[in-house]
């Protein structure tokens, strides 16, 4: 039988009675002694009663001329008396439970698994990305934001279309799946043309399939057809070929001789806030704007959900660092060199955006200083390069665009 709450809260003793059990039970009934769990065990009679009825029990034993031995003591009062005699035992129990909790929350190993076999370099790359985001052996599980780690791995490794981070005891498992991409060259193409990706002067035209629309020395504009997707009796085809042209790019940049920049001073303060559902913030520790120029490194966490209730309160914690204004004085020649370098980088970025960077080679570059103010260096940089400018564009021909096998006269 299950015990009631009163039996757990009060002191209960289990006794074994030696002698005439019938006479003992009759005397207990006359004296009003409340007995529980009465049962026979051989020649002994077992019973439970409250410790506060001990005097009545002794009177019943004298009347029935029976003997008694206490077999077991239970209940909260006996437990508290036991702990008072051994005060170190509760402390050691708490320390043991705390140690078990800490060790069970410690990450011992991080594993990467995939259904399909992947190169060893991909596994090492995923482990390196996980370590950069805090998921590594030796850290506690509550120190790692698993959703943030999963999101950063997906963003830094775009070849993965599935990433899942799960916990298995003291081990963390990262399950990944890599997408299988088919190169555009392997896909069948619909009939179309090769057009110019940018302006330039044609250097060389190599036609693999289709009909050339330009020749060496022609000046072409962005979007102009270079190779028609039509080939004699075959009709419409997917034009293919290599068209090399000379292209140009220019960029302007400037640099003051007195350069001001905000840099961290090394001073920082801790910040702890609570943010409610309406966006209201309660600062528990620190200041949100302690300095004139501030750099914040904050993290946001929410309380774990309880059953079907999702907490709307966020904990914002981190540090607020101070930024100080640092002035750097340059000579005009130094400022001109900095402006030239920035302008050349911008011009190269323009070439990379409009041309195939793998086939682009810089032929020459020149800078034109524009000295209008003494405290400001201005420069205009021009680049000349040679690159492949052909870009495939699908186009469904309804009729032969090249009567007689030649391109239209206006485009030749």
Instruction: Report the C-alpha gap between 340 and 58 in whole angstroms.
Output: 107
Residue 194 has pLDDT above 70, yes or no: yes
d(CA 344, CA 346): 5
H helix runs in 86-164, sequence order:
88-105, 120-132, 146-156
- DSSP SS3 for 247: strand
Answering whether pTM is above 0.95, one says no
pLDDT at 308: 66
pLDDT over 70, % of the chain: 90
Mean pLDDT of 327-340: 86
Instruction: Give the full edge-to-edge strand order of the sheet including 281-285.
Output: 281-285, 258-275, 314-329, 294-302
For residues 206 and 242, give the distance between their C-alpha atoms in angstroms, rounded to a whole number.
5
Q: How far apart, in Å, do the first and last CA atoms of the chain sit?
A: 103
Q: What is the pLDDT of residue 400?
A: 47
Supply the mean pLDDT for the chain. 82
Burial 195-224 (b: 16+ CB within 10 A, else e): bbbbbbebbebebeebbbbbeeebebeeeb
Q: Which of 125-134, 226-235, 390-399 has the lowest mean pLDDT?
A: 390-399
d(CA 393, CA 388): 15
Query: For 82-97, what is the mean pLDDT?
Result: 83
| Residue that wins the pLDDT comparison between 173 and 103 | 173
> pLDDT tens-digit profile of 4-50?
566 677 888 888 888 888 888 888 888 888 888 888 888 888 888 88
Q: What is the largest CA-CA distance in the chain?
A: 134
120-126-131-133 Cα dihedral, nearest 10 degrees: 170
171-178 vs 109-114, strand pairing mode:
parallel
Alpha-carbon span 394 to 407, nearest angstrom: 18
Cβ neighbours around 381 below 10 Å, total? 23
Take residue 56 and report the two structure tokens written for it.
């009545």
Kindly state the helix (H) or strand (E) to which residue 252 belongs, with its residue range. strand 240-256
- What pLDDT is stored for residue 404 in this prediction? 44
Give the model confidence (pLDDT) of 216-264 as tens digits. Answer: 999 999 889 999 888 877 778 888 888 999 998 889 988 888 878 888 8
CA dist., res. 301 & res. 137, Å (int): 22
Structural domains in the chain, CATH included, are: 5-81 (3.30.70.600), 109-178 (3.10.20.310), 194-242+396-411 (no CATH), 258-329 (no CATH)
């Amino acid at each position: 039988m299950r015990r009631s709450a009163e039996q757990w809260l009060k002191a209960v003793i289990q006794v074994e009675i030696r002698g005439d059990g019938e006479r003992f039970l009759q005397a207990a009934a006359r004296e009003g002694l409340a007995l529980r769990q009465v049962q026979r065990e051989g020649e002994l009679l077992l019973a439970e009663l409250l410790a506060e009825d001990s005097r009545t029990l002794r009177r019943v034993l004298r009347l029935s001329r029976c003997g008694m031995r206490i077999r077991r003591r239970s209940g909260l009062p006996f437990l508290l008396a036991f702990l008072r005699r051994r005060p170190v035992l509760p402390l050691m129990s708490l320390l043991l439970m705390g140690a078990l909790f800490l060790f069970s929350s410690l990450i011992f190993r991080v594993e990467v698994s995939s259904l399909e076999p992947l190169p060893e370099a991909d596994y090492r790359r995923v482990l390196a990305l996980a370590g950069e985001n805090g998921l590594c052996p030796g850290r506690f599980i509550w120190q790692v934001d698993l959703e943030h780690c999963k999101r950063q791995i997906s963003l830094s490794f775009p070849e993965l279309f599935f990433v899942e981070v799960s916990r298995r005891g003291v081990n963390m498992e990262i399950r990944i799946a890599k997408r299988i991409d088919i190169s555009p060259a392997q896909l069948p193409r619909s009939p179309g043309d090769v057009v110019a990706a940018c302006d330039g002067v044609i250097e060389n035209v190599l036609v693999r399939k289709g009909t050339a629309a330009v020749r060496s020395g022609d000046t072409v504009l962005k979007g102009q057809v270079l190779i028609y997707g039509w080939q004699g009796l075959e009709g419409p085809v997917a034009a293919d070929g290599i068209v090399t042209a000379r292209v140009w790019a220019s960029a302007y940049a400037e640099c003051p001789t007195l350069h001001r920049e905000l840099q961290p001073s090394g001073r920082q303060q801790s910040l702890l806030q609570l943010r409610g559902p309406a966006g209201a913030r309660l600062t528990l520790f620190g200041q949100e704007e302690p300095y004139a120029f501030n750099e914040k490194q904050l993290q946001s966490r929410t309380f774990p959900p309880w059953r079907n209730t999702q907490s709307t309160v966020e904990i914002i914690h981190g540090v607020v660092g101070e930024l100080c204004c640092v002035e750097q004085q340059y000579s005009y020649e130094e400022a001109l060199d900095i402006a030239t370098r920035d302008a050349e980088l911008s011009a190269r970025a323009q070439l990379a955006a409009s041309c195939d960077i793998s086939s682009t080679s810089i032929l020459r570059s020149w800078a034109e200083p524009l000295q209008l103010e003494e405290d400001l260096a201005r420069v205009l940089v021009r680049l000349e390069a040679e690159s492949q400018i052909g870009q495939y564009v699908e186009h469904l021909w309804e009729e032969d665009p090249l009567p007689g096998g030649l391109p239209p006269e206006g485009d030749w």
